[in-house]
């Protein structure tokens, strides 16, 4: 195109130049032939003017070509181009005006790019997933959180990306009805629930924000279950206390007064244990309970547990053994870990006493020791194992209440171990006993002093 413009300008000026040059040469020849100096000098001046105008025409054509080149570069997106350095006069002013426009456009584009990057960074840093669709319901943009949930493809129909009907109803409705809609989606990711808020965009299309409610609903369910379980656990002993107290007040059962008072005492003691365990669990879970973690010989932890339960085990006709006595030091609060052993051993004596034997021990694992309490009772079915350490979870609810358990011992043990940086788990097989295992990190070894 630049060459076409140059040749157009040349096509305008060249015929005029040739005609003027021919006329000047003719007059010059005729003037010299006639001896007329005036005609000859006029012709010579005309010829000189023709040369000067030709040069001027070539300069103007070149200047137009330079300006056209600058304009073409600007239209192609090259806002750094410059072309007014060698131009002056009106042509230079036109080129300078183009450069000023290019500079302003470059600043505006830089500002827009900065704002776009800031907006993308903000949206990508959100915990919520964000998805935008075009007016024709095609995928326009997603943030990183959304990309981690589903497979996304630019300009694909939104129904190919997310198939949840409630989500699609909300975002399509916001796009078509031009108003904010909400929904609850349960099939975007299996096992997770999202709160969806879809809103129309000014230029058409819609944007939806997905907030993951899975953890919130789980905690809410845990809270409801906890309240229900606590109410149930308190109602049973309170009903017994109330009933037997009313019987004593009635005065018609004087021969059984001592028996009734013993029942009242047992139920009051059970309520006391329940409230104490609830307070302990609350302190450990909230971090209010401070642990004095020191290097402790693992053998001492095992020996303390055995000594504390030796008489109880003998009373239940249960043999208490220690298999492995490692000499490593672990980082632990001695009293807190003693409570973990107490809860695990108490649990085994209540529900696995038929095995007549309890074995304690410890074995090395990667960067720690794993302690265990093994019983040889009836064992636990595999479907119960993942939930054993939940609050108030019982494999056999009737038997648990008869034995006087609160349903919180394993939950307390779990949170104490977690606070020490360890893990706790259970392994079992029906009719082959159970083993409860928890890990503690090794204590840092002290270098011997040099005398």
What pLDDT, in 10s, does the model give residues 386-412?
Answer: 888 887 777 765 555 555 567 788 988
Higher pLDDT, 74 or 221: 221
Report the percent of the chain where pLDDT is more than 90: 24
pLDDT value for 427: 92
Question: Looking at the structure, do residues 236 and 317 belong to the same domain, yes or no?
Answer: no
The token pair that represents 448 in the structure block:
């011997």
Rounded to whole angstroms, the Cα distance separating 274 from 405 reads: 8
Rounded to whole angstroms, the Cα distance separating 269 from 234 reads: 12
- The stretch 13-22 carries a mean pLDDT of 54
Last residue of a domain, one of 178, 212, 246: 212
Distances (CA, A) of 321 to 90, 313, 374, 379: 106, 11, 10, 19
pLDDT value for 251: 63
Least confident of 26-30, 269-273, 363-367, 432-436: 26-30
Torsion of CA 39, 45, 47, 48, to 10 degrees: 170
| Residue 75, domain member (yes or no) | yes
Instruction: Indicate the average pLDDT of the chain.
Output: 77
Rounded to whole angstroms, the Cα distance separating 337 from 415 reads: 11
pLDDT band for 258, please (50, 70, 90 cuts). Answer: confident
- Asked whether residue 449 carries a pLDDT value surpassing 80, the answer given is no
pLDDT value for 397: 59
Question: Looking at the structure, do residues 12 and 50 belong to the same domain, yes or no?
Answer: yes
Question: Looking at the structure, do residues 135 and 201 belong to the same domain, yes or no?
Answer: yes
pLDDT value for 151: 87
Q: What's the CATH code of the domain at 205?
A: 3.30.450.20
Rounded to whole angstroms, the Cα distance separating 251 from 249 reads: 5
pLDDT value for 21: 54
Cβ(426)–Cβ(436) below 8 Å: yes
- The stretch 66-83 carries a mean pLDDT of 66
- Asked whether residue 52 carries a pLDDT value surpassing 80, the answer given is no
Question: Looking at the structure, do residues 273 and 342 belong to the same domain, yes or no?
Answer: no
Question: Looking at the structure, do residues 268 and 369 belong to the same domain, yes or no?
Answer: no
Higher pLDDT, 237 or 74: 237
Place of tokens 């085990």: 313
| Residue 449, domain member (yes or no) | no
Which tens digits make up the pLDDT trace of 191-234? 899 999 999 998 889 999 999 998 888 887 777 777 667 766 77
Distances (CA, A) of 308 to 269, 301, 320, 435: 21, 11, 11, 20
Distances (CA, A) of 173 to 142, 166, 183, 197: 19, 10, 11, 11
Q: What's the CATH code of the domain at 421?
A: 3.30.565.10
Pairing of strands 319-322, 357-365: parallel
Last residue of a domain, one of 190, 212, 234: 212
pLDDT value for 437: 94
| Residue 119, domain member (yes or no) | no
Higher pLDDT, 199 or 279: 199
| Residue 120, domain member (yes or no) | no
Containing structural domain, residue 435: 294-441
- The stretch 368-379 carries a mean pLDDT of 91
pLDDT value for 395: 74
Burial readout 364-392 (b: 16 or more C-beta within 10 A, e: otherwise): eeeebbbbbbbbbbbbbeeeeeeebbbbb
Q: What's the CATH code of the domain at 237?
A: 1.10.287.130
Report the percent of the chain where pLDDT is more than 70: 71
| Residue 115, domain member (yes or no) | no
| Residue 316, domain member (yes or no) | yes
- Asked whether residue 54 carries a pLDDT value surpassing 70, the answer given is no
Which tens digits make up the pLDDT trace of 139-189? 988 888 898 888 888 889 998 889 899 999 999 999 999 999 999 999 898
Question: Looking at the structure, do residues 151 and 184 belong to the same domain, yes or no?
Answer: yes
pLDDT value for 56: 59
pLDDT value for 349: 84
Rounded to the nearest angstrom, the gap between the alpha carbon of residue 36 and the centroid of all alpha carbons in its chain is 100
pLDDT value for 5: 47
pLDDT value for 212: 92
| Residue 50, domain member (yes or no) | yes
Burial readout 146-162 (b: 16 or more C-beta within 10 A, e: otherwise): beebbebeeeeebeebb
Number of structural domains in the chain: 4
Rg of the chain over Cα atoms, rounded to whole angstroms, equals: 46
Higher pLDDT, 287 or 155: 155
Rounded to whole angstroms, the Cα distance separating 361 from 377 reads: 18
pLDDT value for 209: 93
Least confident of 50-64, 211-225, 299-313, 436-450: 50-64
- Asked whether residue 42 carries a pLDDT value surpassing 80, the answer given is no
- Asked whether residue 448 carries a pLDDT value surpassing 50, the answer given is no
Rounded to whole angstroms, the Cα distance separating 43 from 47 reads: 6
Question: Looking at the structure, do residues 345 and 319 belong to the same domain, yes or no?
Answer: yes
Last residue of a domain, one of 286, 307, 332: 286
Question: Looking at the structure, do residues 198 and 258 belong to the same domain, yes or no?
Answer: no
Question: Looking at the structure, do residues 6 and 67 belong to the same domain, yes or no?
Answer: yes
- Asked whether residue 41 carries a pLDDT value surpassing 50, the answer given is yes
Question: Looking at the structure, do residues 193 and 244 belong to the same domain, yes or no?
Answer: no
| Residue 427, domain member (yes or no) | yes
Higher pLDDT, 269 or 194: 194
Question: Looking at the structure, do residues 21 and 101 belong to the same domain, yes or no?
Answer: yes
Question: Looking at the structure, do residues 169 and 269 belong to the same domain, yes or no?
Answer: no
- Asked whether residue 450 carries a pLDDT value surpassing 50, the answer given is no
Higher pLDDT, 259 or 132: 132
Which tens digits make up the pLDDT trace of 326-349? 888 999 999 999 999 999 998 888
């Amino acid at each position: 195109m630049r060459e076409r413009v140059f040749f157009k300008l040349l096509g305008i000026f060249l015929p005029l130049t040739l005609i003027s040059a021919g006329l000047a040469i003719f007059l010059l020849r005729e003037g010299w032939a006639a001896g007329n100096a005036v005609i000859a000098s006029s012709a010579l001046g005309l010829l000189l003017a023709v040369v000067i105008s030709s040069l001027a025409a070539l300069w103007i054509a070149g200047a137009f070509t330079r300006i056209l080149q600058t304009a073409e570069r600007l239209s192609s997106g090259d806002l750094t181009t410059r072309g007014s350095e060698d131009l002056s006069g009106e042509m230079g002013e036109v080129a300078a005006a183009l450069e000023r426009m290019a500079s302003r456009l470059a600043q505006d584009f830089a500002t827009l790019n900065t704002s776009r990057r800031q907006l993308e960074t903000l949206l990508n840093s959100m915990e919520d997933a964000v998805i935008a669709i075009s007016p024709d319901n095609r995928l326009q943009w997603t943030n990183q959180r959304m990309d981690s949930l589903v497979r996304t493809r630019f300009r694909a129909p939104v129904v190919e990306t997310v198939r949840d009907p409630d989500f699609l109803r909300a975002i399509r409705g916001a796009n078509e009805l031009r108003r904010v809609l909400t929904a609850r989606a349960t099939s975007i990711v299996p096992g997770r629930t999202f709160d969806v808020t879809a809103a129309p965009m000014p230029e058409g299309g819609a944007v939806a924000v997905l907030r993951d409610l899975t953890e919130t609903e789980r905690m809410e369910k845990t809270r409801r279950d906890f309240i229900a379980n606590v109410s149930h656990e308190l109602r049973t002993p309170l009903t017994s206390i109330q009933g037997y107290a009313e019987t004593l007040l009635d005065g018609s059962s004087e021969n059984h007064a001592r028996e009734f008072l013993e029942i009242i005492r047992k139920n009051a003691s059970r309520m006391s244990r329940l409230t104490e365990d609830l307070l302990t669990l609350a302190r450990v879970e909230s971090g209010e309970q401070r642990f004095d973690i020191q290097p402790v010989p693992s053998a001492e932890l095992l020996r303390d547990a055995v000594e504390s339960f030796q008489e109880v085990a003998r009373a239940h006709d249960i043999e208490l053994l220690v298999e492995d006595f490692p000499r490593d030091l672990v980082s632990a609060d001695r009293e807190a870990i003693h409570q973990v052993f107490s809860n695990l051993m108490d649990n085994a004596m209540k529900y696995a006493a038929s095995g007549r034997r309890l074995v304690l021990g410890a074995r090395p694992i990667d960067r720690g020791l794993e302690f265990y309490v093994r019983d040889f009772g009836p064992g636990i079915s595999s479907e119960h194992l993942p939930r054993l350490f939940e609050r108030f979870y019982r494999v056999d609810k009737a038997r648990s209440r008869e034995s006087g358990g609160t349903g919180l011992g394993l939950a307390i043990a779990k949170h104490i171990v977690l606070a020490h940086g360890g893990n706790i788990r259970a392994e079992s097989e029906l009719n082959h006993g159970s083993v409860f295992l928890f890990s503690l990190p090794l204590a840092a070894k002290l270098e011997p002093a040099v005398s």
